[in-house]
Amino acid sequence: MTAGVSTRQIGGLSGRRILIESVYPAVEAGRFPVKRIVGEPIEVWADIFRDGSALLAAELLWRAEAASTWSQVRMRLDSNDRWTASFVPTHEGLHAFVIEAWTDEFATWRRDFLLKRDAGLDVTLEAREGRALLASLKPASDAEFSVMQQAYRASDGDPAALLAAEIAEAAIKGSRSDLSRSESFPLMIERKRARTGAWYEMVPRSQGRLPGQHGTFDDCIARLADVAAQGFDVLYLPPIHPIGSTNRKGRNNSLRAEPGDPGSLYAIGSAAGGHDAVHPQLGTLEDFRRLLAACGDYGLEIALDFAVQCSPDHPWLTEQAKWFKRRPDGSIQYAENPPKKYQDIVNPDFGCADAAALWAALRDIVLFWVDQGVRIFRVDNPHTKPLAFWEWLIREVQAVDPGVIFLSEAFTRPKVMKALAKLGFSQSYTYFTWRTTKHELQAYLSEITGYPECEYFRPNFFVNTPDILPLHLQSGEAWIFKARVALAATLSASYGIYNGFELLEHEPIPGTEEYLDSEKYQIKVRDWNRPGNIKDYIGRLNRLRRGNPALQQTTNLRFVQIDDDDVIGFVKESTASDNAVAVTIALAEAPPRQFWLHFGDLEIGPPGQRRHVREIENLVTGERHQIEWGGVRLSIDQSQDPALLFRCFP
């Protein structure tokens, strides 16, 4: 004997007659926000359908998190139950969108009426039904009520008055029968710098002019003209805080510091203060604010390092001792990344009993620097701290200023790197630094620009860092430095160099990927104009990036065939589809060579107007090439310039 079906069950089932599936864009079915840029259209689509042949209507609704009302736009049916719409966010911050769909009863009646009438059937009764249906609808506005009322009156004896397109339009929302609503899908709308920027990492204490003399914020200001002339957008500063003395490291990470050794930049905290203080030898907080203002004059933004670690002399170790874990002998465990040891650093204990206060203190440090005018933070090793902490902290900070950008410096397992991006980091360091062959680069870029990674993972391609001198740069040859910066600057919308790269610095500790006489542990004064530098080359790349929107985004990237394993080729197209750039870069040292660049069936241009590439123009020389037989023959001499950049014309 089977149980009966209750009225409640029937009601619940009938309320799900319309299904809304495969909503795009979404990350983990809406668990994490999709990232987008303010002022740019966001296309949304979904599969919407129901049983039977009744016609549907659908709307896309969106709003900022703090808004009390929704904006809406009608969705259109493309084909195969796929509905689409778009909107343009006008403000930064967390947003959400939902989709509503319902049975359009009047449109269904109108369609059926016309089919029957055109087939020669008697539609007298259908006309009466349509008139009664129109009278039962509740218009959404006074204007719609007026249109429907006039049609109702005119239809008395003349059913044709019910068939005008404006009547159907006015009646769409009249009943909203079987209304269904999707889940809410979050969006993080950010400013353009969250996607696009050229970063220059500079160590402030090394910006002086005399060997061994500690640099100041004024010395940094003196260098801004040089940095800006190279076309950089972001000036990234490693920690600028007081440095501890206990267990201070010496040169090349020596366990013993000699008199005058400044210590590691990352051993943060001394009697002079902690994370909310500046190193006294750099200057004062007011001096730092002057540096911020000077950067603004040059069109630069400062990115500040946020490293959640302390020297043993940090004020927190006495003021907030409960935030640090003690070993059985009463000592505090110094930081380790086996086999590496950091005897001059200790880490807060995120599992301590007072973790809530620790979280709040770290948030307040970030907000302190936001108050000073810093809106970009490069976060050191975020994968070594709880993921939930970062999700909370980023949301807390962006609730105060949604324009704050966080860069994740996490060279760790790919899924952890992607998880950090999902939960809020605007940009991420990547494995680009170690991808050198054509196959490696194409496979890696295809991974991080594919779906769904493209919706949340924004790469920042650093060619080197204070910790990483890649093996391929250790030859010191100018062509490989040019090739690597060209790859970074053209493949990714955001990229960076660590100072000294432009001078071709390349001396490693033998057998390692670490710089000899690392600037992390000592002051290095340089001649920033010494012969052999590639500053002009970098400046030209950055000017080309600024002049071509295609190079200011990462996801619209297509690799093209080149019959040479040592030359990579790709085409990038702007988000507005009004600019396309083709790039070829030599990846290995070789004599000058010719190669065939295949465009094949590749098309460029806005939707509905896409065409094959017919001509390309060299962005440096102005030389033009016609595309014949689907491609063009080019020459490259990597000893002069390993990269060729072309504007594409359809």
Neighbour count for residue 132 (Cβ, 10 Å): 11
Which residues are CB-contacts of 188 (< 8 A; sequence separation ≥ 6)?
33, 34, 35, 36, 93, 94, 95, 398, 424
**Token pair for residue 625?**
């090439």
3-class DSSP state of 397: helix
Residue 511 Ramachandran class (φ > 0 left, ψ -120 to 50 alpha, else beta): left
Contact by Cβ (8 Å): 417, 383: yes
What does the alpha-carbon distance between residue 556 and residue 550 come to, in Å, rounded to a whole number?
Answer: 8
Task: Extract the runs of DSSP E, i.e. beta strands, from 131-269.
Answer: 177-181, 185-190, 197-201, 234-237
Question: How many CB atoms are located within 10 Å of the residue 26 CB?
Answer: 22
d(CA 350, CA 331): 18
- Separation CA 604–CA 571 (nearest Å): 9
> Would you say 630 and 599 are in contact if contact means Cβ atoms under 8 Å apart?
yes
Instruction: Give the residue numbers marked as catalytic.
Output: 380, 409
**Residues 380, 296: Cα–Cα separation, whole Å:** 25
The CA–CA distances, whole Å, from 368 to 285, 301, 302, 337, 400 equal 12, 17, 15, 29, 12
Give the closest residue to 22 by CA, choosing from 174, 183, 208, 252.
Answer: 183
**Is the separation of the CB atoms in 304 and 240 below 8 Å?**
yes
The one-letter amino acid code at 93 reads G
Q: Name the burial class of residue 102, with classes exposed (0-12), middle (13-18) and buried (19+) by CB atoms within 10 angstroms of its CB.
A: buried
d(CA 114, CA 120): 10
Distance CA 380, CA 393 (A): 14
- With residue 125 as reference, give the H or E element that holds it: helix 124-136
Pairing relationship of beta strands 603-604 and 611-612 according to DSSP bridges: antiparallel
Report whether 634 contacts 644 (CB < 8 A): yes
Tokens of 276: 């909310």
At residue 170's C-alpha, the angle toward residues 107 and 86, to 5°, is 85
